[in-house]
Amino acid sequence: MPGGARACVRRCARTWHRGRAPRVGAVVALVLAWTAGCTLVTLDHESREYYASTVLVGRIDCPAGCEGPVLVAALAARGQGFGVAARTSLHEAGGYELIVPGGRYALFAFADNNRNGVFDVGEPSGGYRGETPVTAPGTGVVAGLDFVLRDGLAEANPPMLPGTRLMPAEAVANSTQAGAIADLRAPRFSAANGREGYWSPMTFFRESGGNVYFVEPYDPTRIPILFVHGAAGSAQDWRVFLDGIDRTRYQAWLFQYPSGASVESMAYLLYWKLINLQLRYHFDTLYLTAHSMGGLVTRRFLLDHGAQFPQIRLFVSLSTPWAGEPSADLGVRHSPAVIPSWRDMQPDGPFMRTLFERHLPASIDYYLIFGHRGGYSLVRPNHDGTVTLASQLRDPAQREAKRVFGFDEDHASILASAQVIAQFRSILDQTRGLRDGAPRGGMVRLEIRRDGDPDAPLPLAVLALFPEPTGQASPITIALSPDDLGREVGPVPAGAWRAAIIASSFRSEPPELPLVTGTDATARIAVRLVPDGMLSGYIAADADPASVAAGIYRPPHPTLRPDVITLEGAGVARRVVPRDDGAGQLFDAIAKRRDDAIGPAFVFVGLPAGDYTLRIQARGYRTFTRPIRVEPGLAAPLMPIVLEPVEPGLGQQPHPDR
């Protein structure tokens, strides 16, 4: 961001006092009052750029043994070469994300063993080997962009030549890989930087990234508590809370993110960080604690992805605006420049309308804490200085809570209240007591051999456990990383199961195995993964294209069932007619090696290498057609499929579910 524009944003940031954000309506008034225009231009540019960008997501493996940080870049074609469009640093190999404008990119990474920010000869390196360049549509997420770093040059003509400087040496230490150790005294965790993340989310993401940080190295004997700050907040907001918990029993994790970004996109970012931490550390318990807008981020994460984290047992929210904020609606409708997260705060907006359409996972205990030290006027009802009581105490939030606690605190002081922290400790101890009294279950040792190209990345795999007798309950799934293929995972509840290892573009031999788990023994699975063509996907929920910002997860369509899905090419002609069976059935279809479709999701297995055409027909929508390249042993990028509705009367009848 240019220095003058940055100064304008910081003028606005100074309207905060002691970490307390003004109401959105007050911010709008300030914005409208500035006639110089530089801040309006900056805010408008940030918002437009955000809604025209894509987040590229993947994992990097380094079997060569990287000795230093891993630097990752998205390289855009420029003339006869490439230019750096986005870059990031990881303190170790693992998950990465890059935000880029719509376009086509090559992805490249190297182990910066001497920590100088330069790609030097001999440093392990690699590039994405799938569709190259990768297409970024200018919205949402493109996932599954995994690759491997090897000794020497990744290929004969890598997109980044030795001697190229990717970033300044001092920036190499700023890791965006989940689990980086945070020094809360550093400027990137300051209140000022948190405010900049509200006003300039794109600049914040490029310069600081969003991440789950540790305050100390991971300890498997202590329960992690993840703290999520609110609008214009930062990791430093939780300093008093961190001092108030028993650090011999609990360890603190901190999610710092640009709070001006869409709440939905930050919920997906939180999912991506936690799935990588689960793959890295295999934690068996996790507690979540969120302040203000952070509660919205956390709930959306739990609604969309909570089923993948049975380890989450507790969610505590403090001063969360569960019904939104009327002044956010004023800002969206009248401000010349709109911060993306304002749209999610509109009381009648699509985010708030759908926030309680689904329940939190039944395994999670939810506690609601609110503050009521605010005021009342003819134009503003009771509030805590920032959020109204009516919003904090939205009826479905109360009904879902195990307990509701109110305190004579305002929106900022609730994070430093001795009474609130004492109540929080009591909630922790009660939840931990329930955990300590529960049976631990059994562990499973994985003995997995893999065929195929050793330089190709192994996509994220899943251990699927189907209860016996069949149909008794939904399957349990455990995400696996390449490092898990020779070690124990779990714990798994005691019982009898059908076990299957499922990995995109591979088949398991044998496809299924009987498994019995108990509390005192380690069960064993021995399989071989063989490259095998596979294509899977789902149809995303309808959405206003203008609202699908960078990094937003598009969930499966809740009601749509296509009429037929066909796949043709490479001497193959397949078709599936979707059905309405229960959750988990697609995993069963993959394990049994059969094509299938359930609701908006589908899978084709056993495909030879080649070019295919995917076609989806659904009443009320235009026929969807897409060319697809299938390579056994090489997973394709993952993107939701978006169908284009047609108006009734134009030759197609509306779908009966619509």
Quote the pLDDT of residue 544. 67
- 419 and 407 in contact (C-beta within 8 Å)? yes
Look at strands 223-228 and 286-291 and give their pairing: parallel
Radius of gyration of the CA atoms of the chain, in A: 25
CA distances to 306, 618, 643, 656 from 623, rounded to whole Å, are 33, 7, 8, 17
Read off the pLDDT of residues 284-313 as tens digits, 9 standing for 90 and up.
899 999 999 999 999 999 999 998 898 999
Residue 319: closest CA among 407, 409, 411 = 411
Quote the pLDDT of residue 129. 78
What DSSP string runs through 581-601?
--TTHHHHHHHTT--EEETTE
Terminal CA-CA length for the chain? 45
Tell me what the mean pLDDT of segment 614-635 comes to: 93
What DSSP string runs through 560-587?
---SEEEEEETTEEEEE--B---TTHHH
CATH 3.40.50.2300 describes domain 53-171: no
- 429 and 35 in contact (C-beta within 8 Å)? no
Reduced to 3 states (helix: H, G, I; strand: E, B; else coil), residue 393 is coil
Lowest average pLDDT, out of 89-98, 162-171, 431-440, 560-569, goes to 431-440
Beta bridge partners of 76: 83, 105
Look at strands 103-111 and 125-127 and give their pairing: antiparallel
Residue 25: closest CA among 236, 403, 325 = 325
Alpha carbon distance 451, 506 (integer Å): 9
Beta bridge partners of 525: 446
Q: State the DSSP code for 282.
A: -
Alpha carbon distance 229, 544 (integer Å): 28
Quote the pLDDT of residue 523. 85
φ/ψ (deg, to 5) at 561? -130, 110
Alpha carbon distance 112, 89 (integer Å): 9
| Residue 485 pLDDT greater than 70, yes or no | yes
Tell me what the mean pLDDT of segment 165-170 comes to: 94
* E strand or H helix that includes residue 254: strand 250-256
- 591 and 500 in contact (C-beta within 8 Å)? yes
Quote the pLDDT of residue 322. 97
Q: State the DSSP code for 418.
A: H
Please give the structure tokens belonging to residue 434. 């329930």
Q: How confident is the prediction for the chain on average, in pLDDT?
A: 85
- 391 and 432 in contact (C-beta within 8 Å)? no
- Helices marked H in 258-367 — which ranges? 263-281, 293-305, 326-334, 340-345, 350-354
Read off the pLDDT of residues 398-425 as tens digits, 9 standing for 90 and up.
999 999 999 989 999 999 999 999 999 9
Quote the pLDDT of residue 457. 78
Tell me what the mean pLDDT of segment 104-121 comes to: 94
Quote the pLDDT of residue 177. 96
Residue 360: closest CA among 397, 392, 319, 324 = 397
What DSSP string runs through 378-395?
TTB-SBSSSSBHHHHT-H
Q: Tell me, letter by letter, the H, E, C secondary structure of 183-205.
A: CCCCHHHCHHHHHHHHHCHHHHH
Please give the structure tokens belonging to residue 56. 């590229």
Percent of the chain with pLDDT over 70: 85
Quote the pLDDT of residue 440. 53
Listed by start position, the domains of the chain span 53-171, 187-436, 442-531, 534-630
| Residue 576 pLDDT greater than 80, yes or no | yes
Look at strands 461-467 and 476-480 and give their pairing: antiparallel
Tell me what the mean pLDDT of segment 89-103 comes to: 95
Alpha carbon distance 479, 181 (integer Å): 24
| Residue 80 pLDDT greater than 90, yes or no | no
Question: Is omega for the bond preceding 491 within 30 degrees of 0, making it cis?
Answer: yes
Give residues with Cβ within 8 angstroms of 207, minimum separation 6: none
| Residue 603 pLDDT greater than 80, yes or no | yes
Read off the pLDDT of residues 217-258 as tens digits, 9 standing for 90 and up.
999 999 999 999 999 999 999 999 999 999 999 999 999 999
Give CATH for domain 442-531. Answer: 2.60.40.10
| Residue 169 pLDDT greater than 60, yes or no | yes
Tell me what the mean pLDDT of segment 502-530 comes to: 87
CA distances to 341, 342, 448, 539, 565 from 591, rounded to whole Å, are 41, 44, 16, 22, 20
Give CATH for domain 187-436. Answer: 3.40.50.1820
| Residue 20 pLDDT greater than 90, yes or no | no
Quote the pLDDT of residue 524. 87
Give CATH for domain 534-630. Answer: 2.60.40
Confidence of residue 656 (pLDDT cuts 50, 70, 90): very low
Place of tokens 């009342």: 376
Alpha carbon distance 571, 612 (integer Å): 9
Confidence of residue 489 (pLDDT cuts 50, 70, 90): confident
Burial class (CB in 10 A: 0-12, 13-18, 19+), 320: buried
Confidence of residue 375 (pLDDT cuts 50, 70, 90): low
What DSSP string runs through 502-552?
EETTEEEESS-EEEEE-SS-EEEEEEEEEE-EEEEEEBBPP--GGG--BT-
Quote the pLDDT of residue 9. 44
* Identical fold, 442-531 and 534-630: yes
